[in-house]
A and B are shown apart, each in its own frame.
Chain A
Amino acid sequence: MKKTAVRIYMGLIFLFLYAPIIVLIVFSFNKTKSRGQWAGFTLDWYAELFKDRLITEALYYTVIIAILATLISTIVGTISAIGIHYMKGFSKNLLLNVNNIPVLNPDIVTGVALMTLFLSAGLRLGFVTMLIAHVLFCIPYVILAVLPKLRQLNKHTAEAAMDLGATPSYALRKVILPEIRPGIISGALMAFTMSIDDFVISFFTTGNEVSNLSILIYSMAKRGVKPTINALSTLMFVTVVILLLIINKRSEKGEELLL
C-alpha cells in the first residue's frame, strides 16, 4: 500500500518534470505551426534550423564564448586559488568574500552592474564585454572547486621538493598541480556549464550583433512560436543526454560528477 503510494508520487513528480520536455520533442516533428494540434510527421523544422543564419551564429558564439571563458577562468582561477591559499588573515578573508559576491548576488544585479561599468567606461557592448562577464562569473566557481583540494594538500611535500633543490615554479608544476587536478577539472566543468547555460548576465552585457543561444531563444519565445525552437531544444536535449550517458559509462563516479 505504502509502496504504491510512493510509486504514484514519484511517477507524478517525474511526469511534472518531463511533460514539458516530451511536449517539446513531440511538437518538433509536427507539421503545423499550431501548438496544440498534431498534423502529421515532418523533419522540416530540423532542416530549417540549419539554414537559419541567426541560430547557427548564436550556436557559434555560445560555444566559442564557453570554450574561451572556461580556458581563461580555469587558468586564472587555479593560479589565484593557489595565491589565496597561501595568504593569511584579513586579506585572505577579504579576497574570499569578494570572490563570493558573483556567486551569491542575483544574476540580474551582476548583469546590470557590469553593463553600467562597460557603458560608463565608454566600451561598446559585444563579444569582448560578454566574454569578460563570463570569465568574471566563472572564476569564482573554479576557485571554490580548487581551494578544498589545496587544503587537503600535504604542506610538507612542496617544501620537501624545494629542499631537494626544486625551484618554486618547478615544485608548483610537479608537486602541487598534479595533486589538485581533480579540483581543477571539476572547476572547469562547472565553468563550462555555467557559461553555456547563461542567459541573464549575457543579456545585459552583449550588444545587438552578438547573441548566444539563450538570448536568441528568449527573443524568439517573446515574439511568438516557432517550431524551429522545438527542433533546436530537442537536439540540445538529446546531445546532453548522450553526453551524460557517456560520462556515466566512463566513470563510476558519474553521480558525483553530475552533482
Chain B
Amino acid sequence: MKRMKILAYPYSVWMAIFIVVPILLVLLYSLTEGDIRNLAELRFSTQSYERVLEPIYLKVIVNSFILATLSTLFCLLLGYPVAMIVARSNPKVRGMLLMFLIVPMWMNFLLRTYAWMSILSPNGFLNRLMDLLGLPRLEIMPGKTAVLLGMIYNFLPFMILPIYTVLSKIDKQFLEAANDLGANNMRTFFKIILPLSIPGVVSGITMVFLPAVSTFVISGLLGGGKTPLIGDLIEHQFMWEGNWHFGSSLSIILMVMILISMAIMSRIDRNGQQEKNGQSKV
C-alpha cells in the first residue's frame, strides 16, 4: 500500500510549476526593477514597495481595509439573527429557508452586481421609485456606499451559512439547562449560544473579509473608478499599465494582509475552543 504514494508525484510536480513558481515570480517581480520580459536583466530594488507607501496608494489600501471590515461587520450583524432564526425554525421550514438563502448565490456573481447597477444608477429603479414617492433622489452610485452595499449583498450568505451550521449543532439540552437554572433569554444567548457559535462566526468573518478586501469587480462596477480598492490597483497595473513590479508588490502586500487577518482569526478561534474546554471541565 505504501507504493500508492507515487500516485501523488505527478501532482507534486504540477503544484511546483503552477502554484509555487508563480508565487515566487510575483515575489521576484515585487523586489526588482527593469524590463519584465528579460529575467536576466532584473535588478534588485525596493522601489515598488516604496511606491506603495506614497499617500495616494496608502489611502487606497486603507480604504480597502475599511470597506472590507465594514462589510464584514454589517454581514455579521445582519446575518447572525438570520442564522439563529433558521436554526430554530422547524425542520420543514428550515430546508426551504436554506434553499432560498442559497439560490441567489447560484446566480453568476457578476450578474448580481450588475443587477445592483440597474437599481442604484442615477436613473435607475431606486430613483424612479423615489420620484414616484415624491422623495429626493439618492446619489449613491457610483460611490463608496454602493460598493459597500454590493459587498454586503454578495457575501451575506457566506456569513449566514457557517454560523447556521454551528448553531444547528448546539445541544438543545444546554439551553434547557440554562433555562432551568433561571437564566433569561439574554443571559442564555451571551453565556451559551454566542460562545458556542464562535467557530462559525470566525469562519464567516474569514469568508466575507477575504473576498471583500481583494475584490475589484464590485468596486469597478459600483464604485465607477471613484473609490479604487487594492484589487483595482493590481488589475490596473497588470492589465493596463504593464507595471508588473508595482502590481506584484501590491499583490504581496494583499497576501500579507490576508495572512495576518487569518492568523488573528484562527487565534480567536483557538482561544474560544480552549475556553469552551475549560468550562466543560468546570
Chain A interface residues (CB < 8 Å from chain B): 6, 9-10, 13-14, 16-21, 23-24, 27, 34-37, 76, 79-80, 82-87, 95, 98-99, 101-102, 104-110, 112-117, 120, 132, 136, 139, 155, 158-159, 168, 172, 193, 197, 199-200, 204, 213-214, 217-218, 221-222, 225, 229-230, 232-233, 236-237, 240-241, 244, 248, 254-255, 258-259
Query: Contact: A87 with B5, CB < 8 Å?
Result: yes
Query: Contact: A105 with B255, CB < 8 Å?
Result: yes
B23 within 8 A of A: yes
- The chain B residue sitting closest to A214, CB to CB, is B110
Surface stretch bound by A, among B13-21, B197-205, B272-280: B13-21
Extra inter-chain contacts (16) besides given A107-B214, A221-B113, CB under 8 Å: A17-B104, A35-B124, A83-B4, A83-B7, A83-B9, A86-B4, A95-B11, A106-B213, A108-B251, A109-B26, A112-B248, A120-B39, A204-B239, A221-B221, A225-B117, A254-B99
A259 to B22, CA, bound (A): 31
Taking the closest CB of chain A, its distance from the CB of B91, in whole angstroms, is 10
Given contacts A82-B7, A109-B251, A158-B1, contact A9 B217 (CB under 8 A): no
Given contacts A20-B119, A23-B118, A106-B210, contact A218 B217 (CB under 8 A): yes
Chain B, interface residues (CB within 8 Å), range = 35 or more
Taking the closest CB of chain A, its distance from the CB of B212, in whole angstroms, is 10
- Give the chain B neighbours of A36 by CB distance below 8 A: 123-125, 127-128
- The chain B residue sitting closest to A198, CB to CB, is B109
- The chain B residue sitting closest to A255, CB to CB, is B95
Query: Contact: B22 with A20, CB < 8 Å?
Result: no
Query: Contact: B156 with A17, CB < 8 Å?
Result: yes
Query: Contact: A221 with B104, CB < 8 Å?
Result: no
Query: Contact: A113 with B22, CB < 8 Å?
Result: yes
- Give the chain A neighbours of B114 by CB distance below 8 A: 24, 217, 221, 229, 233
B101 within 8 A of A: yes
Query: Contact: A113 with B23, CB < 8 Å?
Result: yes
- Give the chain B neighbours of A23 by CB distance below 8 A: 115, 118-119, 125
- Give the chain A neighbours of B258 by CB distance below 8 A: 104-106
- Give the chain B neighbours of A112 by CB distance below 8 A: 26, 234, 238, 247-248, 251
Q: 22 A-B pairs, CB-CB below 8 angstroms?
A: A17-B104, A20-B118, A35-B125, A36-B124, A36-B125, A82-B8, A87-B5, A102-B19, A104-B258, A106-B214, A109-B214, A109-B255, A116-B22, A117-B21, A139-B11, A172-B4, A199-B217, A218-B110, A233-B108, A244-B99, A255-B95, A259-B98
Taking the closest CB of chain A, its distance from the CB of B16, in whole angstroms, is 8
- The chain B residue sitting closest to A14, CB to CB, is B100
B260 within 8 A of A: no
Given contacts A82-B7, A108-B231, A120-B25, contact A136 B107 (CB under 8 A): no
Interface string of B20-37 (1 = CB under 8 A from A): 111101100100000000
Query: Contact: A116 with B123, CB < 8 Å?
Result: no
**Residue from the set B4, B78, B128, B248 with the largest chain A CB neighbour count within 10 Å:** B4
List which B208-235 residues lie within 8 A (CB) of chain A: 210-211, 213-214, 216-217, 220-221, 231, 234-235
Chain B interface residues (CB < 8 Å from chain A): 1-12, 14-15, 17-23, 25-26, 29, 39, 78, 81-82, 85, 95, 97-104, 106-119, 121, 123-125, 127-128, 153, 156, 161, 165, 210-211, 213-214, 216-217, 220-221, 231, 234-235, 238-239, 244, 247-248, 251, 254-255, 258, 262
Query: Contact: A116 with B29, CB < 8 Å?
Result: yes
A167 to B136, CA, bound (A): 77
A35 to B126, CA, bound (A): 10
A10 to B83, CA, bound (A): 10
A36 to B231, CA, bound (A): 31
- Give the chain A neighbours of B102 by CB distance below 8 A: 258-259
Taking the closest CB of chain B, its distance from the CB of A150, in whole angstroms, is 10
- The chain B residue sitting closest to A36, CB to CB, is B128
Query: Contact: B119 with A237, CB < 8 Å?
Result: no
- Give the chain B neighbours of A19 by CB distance below 8 A: 119
Given contacts A18-B104, A35-B124, A197-B109, contact A80 B11 (CB under 8 A): yes
Query: Contact: B111 with A236, CB < 8 Å?
Result: yes
- The chain B residue sitting closest to A81, CB to CB, is B8
- Give the chain B neighbours of A139 by CB distance below 8 A: 11, 14
- Give the chain B neighbours of A80 by CB distance below 8 A: 7-8, 10-11
Set A17, A83, A213: member contacting B5, Cβ < 8 A: A83
Query: Contact: A83 with B25, CB < 8 Å?
Result: no
Set A106, A117, A255: member contacting B25, Cβ < 8 A: A117
- Give the chain B neighbours of A218 by CB distance below 8 A: 110, 217, 220-221
Query: Contact: B99 with A255, CB < 8 Å?
Result: yes
Taking the closest CB of chain A, its distance from the CB of B189, in whole angstroms, is 14
Given contacts A109-B251, A258-B99, contact A13 B107 (CB under 8 A): no
A16 to B82, CA, bound (A): 13
